Structure formats: structure tokens, C-alpha cells
Amino acid sequence: MHTDRLQRIGSGEYEQGHVIRILLVDDHALVREGTRRLLEMEKDVEVVAEASSGEEAIELVRSLLPDIAVMDISMPGIGGIEATRAIKKDCPETAVLILSAYDDEPYLLALLDVGAAGFLLKNVHGQELIQAIRAVARGESVLQPSIAEKMMRRLSTRPDVTQHVTNLLSEREFDVLRLAARGLPNKEIAARMSLSIRTVHSHLANIFMKMQVGSRTEAVLLALRQGMISLQDTYDT
């Protein structure tokens, strides 16, 4: 099921009507209700379920396999960090976008470390959230540059025990990954490589499947941990 979703996005059908399936995770019913109403005004977004705890979120992701879980950090029982860790372990192709009132750097670094695709503060405007969801669905990252740089520096010197995947990527896929690591949007990657945006989406979909990740952020951080790319590769020139 996940493979079908990634192939749909990669083949360009996202722009032509692919519906992004969302799980909302927040312990406040009013927040969930308001967010659901906002998202369901968009034709390309569908809220498939809501969860009020990390435990419930983990079970719903396993059963429903949403494209993106929009999750709070602070919740009773299992919080957003541990829930994200469990979701990425069991369902790596479901991306996790954090929507939280907390912007403390240790929280944000911990969330990225366990596989979150990005984060937003709850004071963002509705359209910013919608744009972020669409960006994650396209395989783009939603990160503040300062936090992203600190995370990359931290992980670039730490060994990783995950199976090495360098040889799984084609030369063209590796080129796309390196440009993605510089934070370039898909349109700019396409222009630099003289490709169509649809082809870039296809390459990203293949990269995600081969690396068993659900977002550009995870792919770049995994590539840094495994030495596939260097910290210098993350700077645009």
C-alpha cells in the first residue's frame, strides 16, 4: 500500500488530484476539530482519523497507513517523540509533521533524530500548515535552517547501524539526493538537472523506497549518518 502511494506521488499524480491522507494527533479535541475543518476545506487533503494520544496514533498508523501524521509533542502517556520513533520503525513511509507549541531546540533535535519530516509552531497561519503538508507530500522538508544545520552537524559525525544503502541508488538518484540535501525545492532541482518535475518526483519516490524513509529530511539525515554525503554537500553553491 505504501509503495503504491509513493509511486503515485512520484509519477506526478499528486499535482493532478492525489489526495494526501492525514492522521491528526493532539490531546486537545478543540485543536483537532479546528485543524480538521481547516484541512477538509482543501480538495487534495483528507483527514482519515484523529488520535488523542501517542499510543492511539501508533495503532492508527499501523492500521490506516496515512501519508502524513500531523502530531503534537506533549501528550498524556507516550508523547510525540516516542510516538514518532515507533511510527517510523513500523511504518517508515508515513511522514510525521510536528505541529506544536514548543520550540525548544532539544525537543526539535530529538524529533528530527527519531525521524520527523519537519515541524511547525501552532501559531502558524492555516495556509502555512497546508503548504507544509503539501511540501512534505512532495518530498520536501519543513525545517528552520538553523535547526537543520545543527542537526546535520550532529549526525554527520555519528555512526549509524542501519544497513548501508549507497549502492542501492542510481547515479541520477544520488544527484537528486545531493541537490535535495542543499534544501532546493523540486522545481529548482528539475531546472538544474534539465528534468521535468514529474521525473524529480519519481526519483525522490525511488530514493524514499530504497532508503525506507518517508521524507526528504529523513533521507538526507540518513545519508549523512552513513557517509553517503558530506556536510559540505548540504550547502548550495
**Which pLDDT value is given to residue 237?**
55
**Structure confidence at residue 196 (pLDDT):** 92
204-216: average pLDDT: 83
- Pairwise CA distance, residues 80 & 96, whole Å: 10
Contact 182, 233 (CB under 8 A): yes
Sign of CA dihedral 224, 196, 20, 32: positive
Residues 153-181 have a mean pLDDT of 70
Site of grid cell 542501519: 162
Per-residue pLDDT tens digits for 84-137: 999 998 998 899 999 888 777 677 777 777 888 888 888 888 998 999 999 888
Contact 95, 67 (CB under 8 A): yes
Mean per-residue pLDDT for 7-35? Answer: 73
| Confidence (pLDDT) at 31 | 92
Give pLDDT, residue 8: 32
Q: What is the mean pLDDT of residues 206-222?
A: 81
The reported pLDDT for the residue numbered 221 is: 78
Residue with the bigger pLDDT between 165 and 108: it is: 108
Q: pLDDT class for 147, splitting at 50, 70, 90?
A: low
Report the C-alpha gap between 131 and 128 in whole angstroms: 5
* pLDDT, position 135: 87
Distance CA 99, CA 201 (A): 25
The C-alpha cell at 153 is: 552537524
More confident of the two residues 158 and 80: 80
Q: Let me know if 78 is exposed, middle or buried by CB neighbors in 10 A (0-12, 13-18, 19+).
A: middle
Domains parsed from the chain with CATH numbers: 2-143 (3.40.50.2300), 152-234 (1.10.10.10)
Q: Return the number of other C-beta atoms located less than 10 Å from residue 225's C-beta.
A: 17
- Among 20, 13, 45, 3, which Cα is nearest to 198's? 13
